[in-house]
Amino acid sequence: MRKAIIAGNWKMNKTIAEAQSLAEGVKIDLAEETGVDVVLCPPFTALKTVSDVVSGTQIKLGAQNVHFEQSGAYTGEVSPAMLRDLYCHYVILGHSERRAMFGESSAIVNRKVKAALAGNLLPIVCVGETLEERDAGQVETVVETQVRESLADISAEEMKKIIIAYEPVWAIGTGRTASPEQAQEVHALIRDVLRKMYDDGVAQAVRIQYGGSMKPSNAAELLAQPDIDGGLIGGAALDPHSFVQIVAAARQD
Ligand code: PEP
Protein backbone atom coordinates (compact mmCIF):
# COMPACT_ATOMS: atom_id res chain seq x y z
CA MET A 1 0.00 0.00 0.00
CA ARG A 2 1.27 3.49 -0.87
CA LYS A 3 1.71 5.87 2.06
CA ALA A 4 -0.43 8.99 1.69
CA ILE A 5 1.42 12.28 1.28
CA ILE A 6 -0.10 15.70 1.93
CA ALA A 7 2.02 18.73 1.03
CA GLY A 8 1.24 22.40 1.57
CA ASN A 9 2.45 24.77 -1.13
CA TRP A 10 2.49 28.20 0.50
CA LYS A 11 3.57 29.88 -2.77
CA MET A 12 4.72 33.52 -2.38
CA ASN A 13 2.93 34.00 0.94
CA LYS A 14 4.03 34.47 4.55
CA THR A 15 6.74 36.60 6.07
CA ILE A 16 9.06 34.89 8.51
CA ALA A 17 6.88 35.70 11.52
CA GLU A 18 3.71 34.58 9.71
CA ALA A 19 5.40 31.40 8.51
CA GLN A 20 6.51 30.59 12.03
CA SER A 21 3.01 30.97 13.37
CA LEU A 22 1.47 28.88 10.56
CA ALA A 23 4.05 26.09 11.02
CA GLU A 24 3.51 26.14 14.78
CA GLY A 25 -0.24 25.90 14.26
CA VAL A 26 0.20 22.82 12.07
CA LYS A 27 2.66 21.31 14.52
CA ILE A 28 0.34 21.73 17.50
CA ASP A 29 -2.59 20.16 15.65
CA LEU A 30 -0.42 17.28 14.42
CA ALA A 31 1.06 16.31 17.75
CA GLU A 32 -0.19 12.74 17.31
CA GLU A 33 1.48 10.45 14.71
CA THR A 34 -0.70 10.37 11.59
CA GLY A 35 0.85 7.69 9.39
CA VAL A 36 0.75 10.26 6.60
CA ASP A 37 3.78 11.97 5.06
CA VAL A 38 3.18 15.63 5.85
CA VAL A 39 5.25 18.27 4.03
CA LEU A 40 5.31 22.06 4.36
CA CYS A 41 6.70 24.08 1.44
CA PRO A 42 7.18 27.70 2.55
CA PRO A 43 8.96 30.32 0.41
CA PHE A 44 12.77 30.16 0.45
CA THR A 45 13.00 33.05 2.92
CA ALA A 46 11.05 31.13 5.59
CA LEU A 47 12.69 27.71 5.14
CA LYS A 48 15.11 28.12 8.03
CA THR A 49 12.40 29.25 10.43
CA VAL A 50 9.99 26.48 9.46
CA SER A 51 12.85 23.97 9.53
CA ASP A 52 13.50 24.91 13.17
CA VAL A 53 9.79 24.67 14.06
CA VAL A 54 9.29 21.19 12.55
CA SER A 55 12.61 19.73 13.63
CA GLY A 56 12.08 16.43 15.46
CA THR A 57 8.41 16.12 14.42
CA GLN A 58 6.68 14.02 11.74
CA ILE A 59 6.46 17.14 9.53
CA LYS A 60 8.98 17.36 6.70
CA LEU A 61 10.19 20.42 4.83
CA GLY A 62 9.97 21.08 1.10
CA ALA A 63 10.98 23.90 -1.25
CA GLN A 64 8.96 25.26 -4.15
CA ASN A 65 11.75 25.24 -6.72
CA VAL A 66 15.45 24.51 -7.19
CA HIS A 67 18.05 25.22 -9.86
CA PHE A 68 19.39 22.44 -12.06
CA GLU A 69 23.06 23.17 -11.44
CA GLN A 70 24.78 22.38 -8.16
CA SER A 71 26.62 25.74 -7.93
CA GLY A 72 27.96 28.60 -10.05
CA ALA A 73 27.08 31.92 -11.62
CA TYR A 74 23.27 31.68 -11.54
CA THR A 75 22.17 34.94 -9.93
CA GLY A 76 19.02 34.60 -7.88
CA GLU A 77 18.94 30.81 -7.94
CA VAL A 78 19.13 28.24 -5.14
CA SER A 79 20.91 24.87 -5.39
CA PRO A 80 19.90 21.44 -4.10
CA ALA A 81 22.78 21.48 -1.57
CA MET A 82 21.54 24.80 -0.17
CA LEU A 83 18.11 23.25 0.39
CA ARG A 84 19.58 20.15 2.03
CA ASP A 85 21.52 22.50 4.32
CA LEU A 86 18.15 23.68 5.64
CA TYR A 87 16.96 20.08 6.12
CA CYS A 88 14.66 20.17 3.10
CA HIS A 89 13.57 16.68 2.04
CA TYR A 90 11.26 17.54 -0.86
CA VAL A 91 11.08 20.01 -3.71
CA ILE A 92 8.10 20.94 -5.89
CA LEU A 93 9.10 20.99 -9.57
CA GLY A 94 7.25 22.09 -12.69
CA HIS A 95 4.32 23.71 -10.90
CA SER A 96 1.93 25.09 -13.53
CA GLU A 97 2.61 28.63 -12.28
CA ARG A 98 6.30 28.13 -13.04
CA ARG A 99 5.53 26.50 -16.38
CA ALA A 100 3.16 29.32 -17.40
CA MET A 101 4.84 32.39 -15.86
CA PHE A 102 8.54 31.51 -15.79
CA GLY A 103 8.90 29.58 -19.03
CA GLU A 104 9.66 26.24 -17.39
CA SER A 105 9.41 23.56 -20.04
CA SER A 106 9.30 19.86 -19.29
CA ALA A 107 12.92 19.68 -20.50
CA ILE A 108 13.93 22.15 -17.79
CA VAL A 109 11.82 20.29 -15.24
CA ASN A 110 13.67 17.11 -16.24
CA ARG A 111 17.04 18.75 -15.56
CA LYS A 112 15.76 19.91 -12.17
CA VAL A 113 14.46 16.42 -11.33
CA LYS A 114 17.92 14.99 -12.02
CA ALA A 115 19.66 17.73 -10.00
CA ALA A 116 17.25 17.27 -7.10
CA LEU A 117 17.81 13.51 -7.00
CA ALA A 118 21.58 13.99 -7.23
CA GLY A 119 21.31 16.43 -4.33
CA ASN A 120 19.30 13.95 -2.25
CA LEU A 121 15.95 15.77 -2.53
CA LEU A 122 12.67 14.02 -3.34
CA PRO A 123 10.97 15.72 -6.30
CA ILE A 124 7.24 16.41 -6.42
CA VAL A 125 6.73 16.74 -10.18
CA CYS A 126 3.60 18.63 -11.25
CA VAL A 127 1.68 17.94 -14.45
CA GLY A 128 -1.76 18.97 -15.65
CA GLU A 129 -3.78 20.33 -18.52
CA THR A 130 -5.31 23.77 -19.06
CA LEU A 131 -9.04 24.25 -19.54
CA GLU A 132 -8.53 24.85 -23.28
CA GLU A 133 -6.63 21.57 -23.55
CA ARG A 134 -9.37 19.72 -21.64
CA ASP A 135 -12.09 21.25 -23.80
CA ALA A 136 -10.15 20.25 -26.90
CA GLY A 137 -10.01 16.62 -25.70
CA GLN A 138 -6.24 16.74 -25.22
CA VAL A 139 -5.93 15.70 -21.56
CA GLU A 140 -4.36 12.33 -22.32
CA THR A 141 -1.80 13.66 -24.81
CA VAL A 142 -0.82 16.70 -22.72
CA VAL A 143 -0.43 14.80 -19.45
CA GLU A 144 1.37 11.82 -21.02
CA THR A 145 3.80 14.15 -22.82
CA GLN A 146 4.51 16.13 -19.63
CA VAL A 147 5.11 12.92 -17.66
CA ARG A 148 7.39 11.38 -20.31
CA GLU A 149 9.42 14.56 -20.91
CA SER A 150 9.71 15.61 -17.25
CA LEU A 151 10.85 12.12 -16.30
CA ALA A 152 13.07 11.30 -19.28
CA ASP A 153 16.14 9.17 -18.50
CA ILE A 154 15.15 8.55 -14.89
CA SER A 155 15.96 5.01 -13.71
CA ALA A 156 13.33 2.75 -12.16
CA GLU A 157 15.02 3.03 -8.76
CA GLU A 158 15.03 6.83 -8.98
CA MET A 159 11.42 6.87 -10.19
CA LYS A 160 10.26 5.17 -6.99
CA LYS A 161 11.51 8.20 -5.02
CA ILE A 162 9.56 10.69 -7.15
CA ILE A 163 6.05 11.91 -6.38
CA ILE A 164 3.83 13.07 -9.22
CA ALA A 165 1.21 15.76 -8.59
CA TYR A 166 -1.68 15.87 -11.04
CA GLU A 167 -2.89 19.46 -10.96
CA PRO A 168 -5.43 20.44 -13.61
CA VAL A 169 -4.55 24.09 -14.22
CA TRP A 170 -8.24 25.08 -14.31
CA ALA A 171 -8.68 23.84 -10.74
CA ILE A 172 -5.71 25.66 -9.17
CA GLY A 173 -6.73 28.55 -6.96
CA THR A 174 -10.09 28.77 -8.73
CA GLY A 175 -12.26 27.00 -6.17
CA ARG A 176 -13.22 24.66 -9.00
CA THR A 177 -12.17 21.11 -8.14
CA ALA A 178 -11.94 18.16 -10.50
CA SER A 179 -14.64 15.66 -9.57
CA PRO A 180 -13.27 12.54 -7.88
CA GLU A 181 -14.06 10.62 -11.10
CA GLN A 182 -12.31 13.17 -13.35
CA ALA A 183 -9.24 13.14 -11.10
CA GLN A 184 -9.19 9.33 -10.77
CA GLU A 185 -9.35 8.96 -14.55
CA VAL A 186 -6.19 11.04 -15.04
CA HIS A 187 -4.38 9.45 -12.08
CA ALA A 188 -5.05 6.00 -13.60
CA LEU A 189 -3.78 7.32 -16.92
CA ILE A 190 -0.56 8.56 -15.29
CA ARG A 191 -0.07 5.17 -13.63
CA ASP A 192 -0.54 3.54 -17.03
CA VAL A 193 2.09 5.81 -18.55
CA LEU A 194 4.50 4.76 -15.76
CA ARG A 195 3.66 1.12 -16.52
CA LYS A 196 4.60 1.69 -20.16
CA MET A 197 7.78 3.63 -19.26
CA TYR A 198 8.89 1.17 -16.56
CA ASP A 199 6.84 -1.79 -15.32
CA ASP A 200 3.91 -2.57 -13.07
CA GLY A 201 6.10 -2.58 -9.94
CA VAL A 202 7.19 1.01 -10.51
CA ALA A 203 3.68 2.09 -11.56
CA GLN A 204 2.23 0.67 -8.33
CA ALA A 205 4.96 2.16 -6.14
CA VAL A 206 4.84 5.78 -7.30
CA ARG A 207 2.59 8.10 -5.31
CA ILE A 208 0.37 10.45 -7.29
CA GLN A 209 -1.06 13.48 -5.49
CA TYR A 210 -4.06 15.48 -6.62
CA GLY A 211 -3.85 19.27 -6.49
CA GLY A 212 -6.44 21.92 -7.34
CA SER A 213 -8.70 23.52 -4.76
CA MET A 214 -8.48 20.55 -2.40
CA LYS A 215 -10.04 21.51 0.93
CA PRO A 216 -11.51 19.82 4.01
CA SER A 217 -14.95 19.53 2.39
CA ASN A 218 -13.77 17.62 -0.70
CA ALA A 219 -10.54 15.93 0.45
CA ALA A 220 -12.04 12.66 1.70
CA GLU A 221 -13.84 11.76 -1.52
CA LEU A 222 -10.84 12.66 -3.66
CA LEU A 223 -8.46 10.72 -1.40
CA ALA A 224 -10.79 7.70 -1.44
CA GLN A 225 -10.08 7.16 -5.14
CA PRO A 226 -7.81 4.15 -5.74
CA ASP A 227 -5.08 6.04 -7.60
CA ILE A 228 -5.09 9.26 -5.54
CA ASP A 229 -2.36 8.94 -2.94
CA GLY A 230 -2.38 12.39 -1.41
CA GLY A 231 -2.78 16.07 -2.08
CA LEU A 232 -0.76 19.13 -2.99
CA ILE A 233 -2.59 21.92 -1.26
CA GLY A 234 -2.35 25.63 -2.06
CA GLY A 235 -4.95 27.96 -0.55
CA ALA A 236 -6.16 25.59 2.17
CA ALA A 237 -2.58 25.08 3.37
CA LEU A 238 -2.45 28.70 4.52
CA ASP A 239 -4.88 27.89 7.32
CA PRO A 240 -3.46 25.39 9.83
CA HIS A 241 -6.84 23.90 10.74
CA SER A 242 -7.88 23.34 7.12
CA PHE A 243 -4.53 21.80 6.30
CA VAL A 244 -4.62 19.48 9.30
CA GLN A 245 -8.20 18.45 8.46
CA ILE A 246 -6.97 17.39 5.03
CA VAL A 247 -4.16 15.39 6.66
CA ALA A 248 -6.81 13.73 8.85
CA ALA A 249 -8.81 12.83 5.72
CA ALA A 250 -5.71 11.08 4.34
CA ARG A 251 -5.19 8.85 7.38
CA GLN A 252 -5.43 5.22 6.39
CA ASP A 253 -5.88 3.67 9.86
C1 PEP B 1 -1.32 24.46 -6.02
O2 PEP B 1 -0.99 25.56 -6.39
O3 PEP B 1 -0.50 23.53 -6.01
C4 PEP B 1 -2.72 24.27 -5.62
C5 PEP B 1 -3.22 23.08 -5.65
O6 PEP B 1 -3.41 25.42 -5.25
P7 PEP B 1 -4.92 25.48 -4.69
O8 PEP B 1 -5.06 24.38 -3.66
O9 PEP B 1 -5.05 26.82 -4.10
O10 PEP B 1 -5.81 25.25 -5.86
* pLDDT of 63 over the 90 cut: yes
Under the banding of pLDDT at 50, 70 and 90, the label for residue 253 is: low
The residue nearest atom 7 of ligand 1, judged by CA position, is 234
Ligand 1 atom with minimal separation from the 96 CA: 2
Q: Catalytic residue, from 97, 104, 129, 167: name it.
A: 167
| Percent of the chain whose pLDDT exceeds 90 | 96
Predicted pLDDT of residue 252: 77
Q: Which residues pair with 93 in a beta bridge?
A: 125
What value does the mean pLDDT take over residues 109-135? 97
pLDDT band of 1, cuts 50, 70, 90: confident
Say which of 67, 95, 97, 187 is annotated catalytic: 95
**pLDDT tens for residues 129-159?**
999 999 999 999 999 999 999 999 999 999 9
104 lines ligand 1 (CB under 6 A): no
Confidence of residue 166 (pLDDT cuts 50, 70, 90): very high
Q: Residues 43, 13: contact at Cβ < 8 Å?
A: yes
Helical axes 180-197 vs 139-150, angle rounded to 10°: 50
The pick from 10, 96, 215, 232 for probing ligand 1's pocket by mutation, whose C-beta has the most ligand atoms within 8 angstroms, reads 232
Query: Is the model's pLDDT at 197 over the cut of 90?
Result: yes
Mean pLDDT of 27-54: 96
